[in-house]
Structure 1
Amino acid sequence: MEADLCGSGPRRDAYGRKWSRAAAGPRGGPVTHLPNDIEVVECAEYDHIEIDTALWLNDAHQIVLNSEIDGRDILRANFRKGVLRLQATSYVGVIPLNEHVVVRVKPRVPIANLTRMVIETGHTVLALSAFREYSGRGTADDWAMDLYTDALLDYADELVDSGLQREYERRASEGHFPHGRIDFKRTMQRFGARGIPNKAAYSWFERTVDTSLNRCVKAAMEAVHAHLVKAKDKPRKGDRGRIARLAGQLLAFEEVAHDPDYRFLDDPQVLGLTPLPDPRAYYRPILDLSVLILRGVGIALDLGGADVKLGSLLIDTNKLFENFVRVTLSKHAARHGWPVDVLDGNTDGKVNLYDVPDPLPAPLGTPLQALATRDPGKAQPDIVLRAADGTFLLIAEVKNTAHGKHADADDVLPERGEVEQAVTYALRYGRPLTLLIHPWIKGTKGLVYVGRVRSVDVYDYRLDLSSEEHIDESLAVMANTIYSLAGLPIQIPTSG
C-alpha cells in the first residue's frame, strides 16, 4: 500500500528551498516535534529509510515534502511490517526531503564512474535547488560546462544583489588642487627646489571593485559566455536567455580589469587558502566554481567531495545502466565493423507482440475476435541486434537489479519476472536464446548460463563496473561475448 506523495502550495523554508504539504486532511496545520537542525540520512537505492515520522508528517497526517520532488518517483511512502516508512527508488544523489531532513541515496551496485556513464550516454540528470558538494575531476566538457553555466548565473545574481567586493587602493598625483595627504618630501623635491610654490605631490585612497576576487569571477563569466556563443551540435534550449542574463550581470563588472594571464589565481583568498572576511563569505561558492571553470576541470557525480557547491543532481540509475550498456555496445560494433545494427527495442527494434491467426480459433464453435486486431501490443527488448537482411540475431534485457546481494550463495538465479519477460521476447523474435545483462554484485563475473525454458536457453551477463581502472576491459569482453552469442563470424584482424 503506497501513499501519494503529492503536494501543493509551494513555500520557502529557512534554507530558501521550496516545500509543500501533502496528503489528506485540512491544509496549513502546524508541524510539531521538529528539530531546528537538519538530519542527514544515508541509504542505498530501494532501501527503506528509518526516519522518525514526526520529521515528515504533521499532526494532520500531512506529508511535509520539498515541492521539487512532488509528483516524481523519487521517494515512496509505504507500509512495512505495519509501520509507515519512506523508501528510496532508483534515483541516487542528495535529496532534500524537507527543511529538516536530507536523504543521501547511494547506488546499490558498485558503479565506479557515474560521471563517465552520464557523459557517454547523454543521460539527463534531475537538478534540484538544494546545494551539495562535488569533486572536480578530469576535463570540463560541454556537459560539465552546461551545469557550470546555470550555477554561475545563479551565483552571479546573488553576488550582484549582495554587493561586489571593494578595496581601498592608493592613488597618487601632482597638481594645483591637492586632496588627500600631501607628500611633503616629494613636493619639495619636485617643486620646492625648482621654485614652484603652487603645486604639490599628494595621494589618496579610492574604493575600487577592480580586485582579484572580482577579476576571477569576471574571467569565469567571460569563459561561460564563450561557451554559450560557440557553435554546438545540440544547443540547449534557453541559451539566448542565458546570454542576455549574463550580459546584464557583466555590466556590474565594467570597472573590473581583464586579466588574460589569470594572475588572480595566485591570490590565496581566491584559491581558498586564506579565509574571506565574514562580510564577504558569500564569495566562496562562486570563487570555487570560477576556479574550476577557468582551470577546465570537470565534475565528478559520485557522492562526496568539497571542490565546489552546485545544485543537487539526481540520477536515475535504472535508465542510466540500460543506456550505458546499449550505447557502449553500439560504439563497439561501429568501431569494429560488426555486420549488424544495435537497436533500442523501445524504438527502432520493437515488433508487435501478438499475431492474429487466420483462420481465427473457434474453441466454442464460433471464431473469436482477437483483441490484438485493434492493439497488437509491443515486444520491446532493451537491445536488439538486427542483420542487414532484417533478421534478428539476438535480443537482450538490461536490468539494474541487485539479485543475490544478501543471499548466502555467490551465484543465484535472476528474478523470475525478468526471465519470463526475456523468454517471451526470445520466442516473439524467433531466437533460441535470450540474454539478461546485470551489474555484477558478487560471484561469477561475465557470462553465466542460467538454464533452458522449453526451447529457449537463458544466459545472464554480469558486467563488472566496480573498478574505474578496468571498465574499458570489462566492456570490451561483454561486447565480444555478445558478438559470439549472436552467432556472428569470427573477425580476423587486418594489418593497417
Structure 2
Amino acid sequence: MAVNLAALGEAIDGRGFASAGRLARKPIAAVEQDTILLPPELVRTDGSLDVYDDVLKLFRPTYSKNRPAIQCSGWVGYIPLNDSFALEVSTRVPVGNLERLVGMAVGYTPDILRKYTRQFAHAVDRPASLFDILTDQLLDAFDHVWEGGLMKTYGRVQRVGSAPVGRIMPFQSQWLSAKSGRPVAVSSAFHRSPDFGPNRVLRHAFEKLLARYIGIREDAQRARVLRLRQAVNRLVGVGRPLLSEVSPEAIAGFVHRLPSQHEYYADALMVAQLIIFDIGLSIRGNGGVAILPSILIDMAKVFENYVRRVLADGLREDERIEVKDGNKGGEGGAKLDLFDPIAEGLKNPGVTPDIVIDVEGKTKLVIDAKYKPAPKVPERDDVNQVVLYGARYGAHRVMLLHAGRKAERQPTELCGQVGDFQVYNGMVDLNAEPIETEETNLVEAVRLLL
C-alpha cells in the first residue's frame, strides 16, 4: 500500500516536537574525526564557545590556523550546537547502507539527544535499535497524553429499560411495551467516551508493538513490554480503529483538529503512524516523515559489530566453526588476560580482539576491525596489535579488517609474514550495491583462511 508520507509531516508543523523543530539552525558540514573551523558567531566575547553545555562533551574544543575550532569525535549525525547552528557530521568512509549496518550491529544502541529534535526522512531498512527508539518515544509521548487526560468525544448512546436517560423515543418505547406486555422506555443521550479515532489509532500501535516484543526474552526488553501492557490497559474501553481511521490522511486530520490542551497527541500520533505503516527512518539527511530527538551513531562500534554478525551468519552452516567476540568473556566471548602466567602482584591487562574464529575448538584466525579505508600495507601500530593477538590466541593467521574496498582489490590480501604469523588485509565496501554480494564475498574469502 502506498503511504502518503507528507500528510502527517504537514499536519504536525509547529505542534508537539515540531514546535522545537522550528528552530532554523544553520548546518555546518563536518566529517567524523575532522577538525572544523567555527564561525565567529559561535564564540562569545570572553572567548568561550556559545554551545549547549550537554553537547560540548561530544567533541574537543581546539584551535586551528589560529582560529577557534572543534575536533569531531566518532559520532555521526545531527548535533545541535545552539539555537542557531548545528553540526551535520557524515561518515569518513563511503557508507551507502548505513541503516543496514546499524540493523545488523547486534547489541549496538545509538545515543539519543532527547532535548533536541530534527526532521527525519524515510528509509527502507528498519534497524531494531531504531525501532526500540520509536517504541520508547511513543511510550514517553503517551505518558504525557495520560498526564493531560485522554481526549473524549460525545457519542449518542441508546438505552432500553425502565430507567430512561435523556430523550425518550415515544414510537420505539410504545412498540416495545406492547410487544413485551410491560412498560419499556427507549431513550437516547450523548455520553463522553475515549473510544474514538485518535485513541483507537494509539491502541492499534501499542497492540502491534506488543505482538513484536511479547516473544523476546531479553532482559532489556522486559521493561518495554511492561510499559506497553500498561499503555494498553490505560486504553481500556477503546476499540479497534476503523479502516478509514488508519490512513495517513485520517491521522493527519486528527492532528489538525487537536485542541491546544492536547498538543502531546501530535507527538504520539506521529510516532504511531511510523509504527503502524512500518516506516523506517533515515539516519542521515532531513525530510518530512517525522520530527524526533536527534540520533547519533558511533560508526567504529557499528562497523565492528556489523562485520562480526556478517561472519557469524555466513559461517553458521559449518558446525565446526564458531565466531566469537573477543571484547567480552563468557558464552560467545573470547576475552583473555595478556599474561599467562603473570608475575605475582601485577595487574593483568585484557586482550580484546574484535573477532576470534575457532575451528573445532582451536583458534584459526584473529581479526581486528578498523573503521578506515584499507591501505596497501596496514599501519605499523595496527600490525603490532594484531600480531600480539595472534601470539596470545595461538593463531598463525591474523587480519586487519578495513571499511572500504576498491574494485580492483580482493576481500582478503596477504600482506606478509611476521615470524610465525601471516598478516592479512581484509576489506569490505560499505557503499556496495548490493551490499549482500559484498558480504558473501567477504565470508567466502575468510572461509578459505580457516
Coarse TM-score class (shorter-chain normalised): 0.7 to 0.9
The change in CA–CA distance for 1:237 and 1:212 in structure 2 (over 3 A counts) is closer
Aligned residue number for residue 436 of structure 2: 472
Q: 2:269 is matched with which residue: 274, 279, 287?
A: 287
SS in 1 for 2:267: helix
Q: 2:334 is matched with which residue: 316, 325, 349?
A: 349
Larger mean CA deviation between 266-275 and 326-335 belongs to 266-275
Superposed CA deviations along residues 147-197 of structure 1, whole A, max 9, x for unmatched, are 2321112222333456655667678999xx9989x9xxx999x99xxxxxx
Q: 1:215 is matched with which residue: 200, 203, 207?
A: 200
Q: 1:105 is matched with which residue: 83, 89, 96?
A: 89
Q: 1:264 is matched with which residue: 234, 238, 245?
A: 245
Identity of matched residues, %: 26
Aligned residue number for residue 383 of structure 2: 419
The change in CA–CA distance for 1:387 and 1:187 in structure 2 (over 3 A counts) is closer
Corresponding residue pairs, total = 411
1:435 aligns with 2:422: no
Distance 1:396 1:431 in 2: 10
C-alpha displacement of 1:240: 6.8
C-alpha displacement of 1:145: 4.6
Distance 2:226 2:165 in 1: 48
Distance 1:224 1:428 in 2: 46
C-alpha displacement of 1:387: 3.3
1:462 aligns with 2:427: yes
What letter is aligned with 2:289? Answer: D
Larger mean CA deviation between 150-159 and 261-270 belongs to 261-270
Aligned residue number for residue 382 of structure 1: 354
The change in CA–CA distance for 1:211 and 1:346 in structure 2 (over 3 A counts) is closer
The change in CA–CA distance for 1:346 and 1:265 in structure 2 (over 3 A counts) is closer
Distance 2:148 2:360 in 1: 63
Distance 2:189 2:318 in 1: 72
Distance 1:45 1:167 in 2: 51
SS in 1 for 2:358: strand
Distance 1:473 1:322 in 2: 19
Q: 1:398 is matched with which residue: 362, 369, 374?
A: 369
Distance 1:142 1:389 in 2: 32
The change in CA–CA distance for 1:269 and 1:230 in structure 2 (over 3 A counts) is same
The question of whether the paired residues in 1 share the 8 Å contact of 2:372 and 2:404 is answered with: no
Aligned residue number for residue 21 of structure 1: none
C-alpha displacement of 1:349: 3.1
The question of whether the paired residues in 1 share the 8 Å contact of 2:60 and 2:71 is answered with: yes
C-alpha displacement of 1:474: 1.3
Aligned residue number for residue 49 of structure 1: 36
The change in CA–CA distance for 1:143 and 1:476 in structure 2 (over 3 A counts) is same
1:153 aligns with 2:125: no
The change in CA–CA distance for 1:156 and 1:402 in structure 2 (over 3 A counts) is same
1:307 aligns with 2:307: no
The question of whether the paired residues in 1 share the 8 Å contact of 2:76 and 2:296 is answered with: yes
The change in CA–CA distance for 1:231 and 1:316 in structure 2 (over 3 A counts) is closer
Within-5 A mapping of 1:24-423: 37-52=24-39, 54-55=41-42, 59=46, 61=48, 64-67=51-54, 69=55, 74-120=58-104, 121-129=106-114, 130-135=116-121, 137=123, 143=129, 145-160=131-146, 209-225=194-210, 232-236=217-221, 238-239=223-224, 242-243=227-228, 246=231, 251=234, 253=235, 257-259=238-240, 261-266=242-247, 268-271=249-252, 275-276=256-257, 279=260, 283-337=265-319, 339-347=320-328, 348-354=333-339, 374-375=346-347, 377-388=349-360, 390=362, 392-402=363-373, 412-423=376-387
What letter is aligned with 1:477? Answer: N
C-alpha displacement of 1:454: 5.9
Which protein is bigger by CA-based radius of gyration? 1
Distance 1:170 1:389 in 2: 72
C-alpha displacement of 1:212: 2.3
The question of whether the paired residues in 2 share the 8 Å contact of 1:382 and 1:396 is answered with: yes
The question of whether the paired residues in 2 share the 8 Å contact of 1:136 and 1:292 is answered with: no
Distance 1:234 1:325 in 2: 25
Larger mean CA deviation between 471-480 and 99-108 belongs to 99-108
The change in CA–CA distance for 1:113 and 1:302 in structure 2 (over 3 A counts) is farther
The question of whether the paired residues in 1 share the 8 Å contact of 2:42 and 2:49 is answered with: no
The change in CA–CA distance for 1:350 and 1:285 in structure 2 (over 3 A counts) is closer
Higher helix share: 2
SS in 2 for 1:311: strand
C-alpha displacement of 1:442: 4.1
C-alpha displacement of 1:331: 2.2
SS in 2 for 1:236: helix
C-alpha displacement of 1:270: 0.9
SS in 2 for 1:153: helix
The change in CA–CA distance for 1:169 and 1:79 in structure 2 (over 3 A counts) is same
Distance 2:366 2:204 in 1: 51
SS in 2 for 1:156: helix
Query: TM (normalized to structure 2)?
Result: 0.73
What letter is aligned with 2:227? Answer: R
C-alpha displacement of 1:389: 5.3
The question of whether the paired residues in 2 share the 8 Å contact of 1:437 and 1:460 is answered with: yes
The change in CA–CA distance for 1:278 and 1:113 in structure 2 (over 3 A counts) is farther
The change in CA–CA distance for 1:476 and 1:277 in structure 2 (over 3 A counts) is same
C-alpha displacement of 1:455: 5.8
Query: TM (normalized to structure 1)?
Result: 0.67
Superposed CA deviations along residues 357-384 of structure 1, whole A, max 9, x for unmatched, are xxxxxxxxxxxxx968734544432222
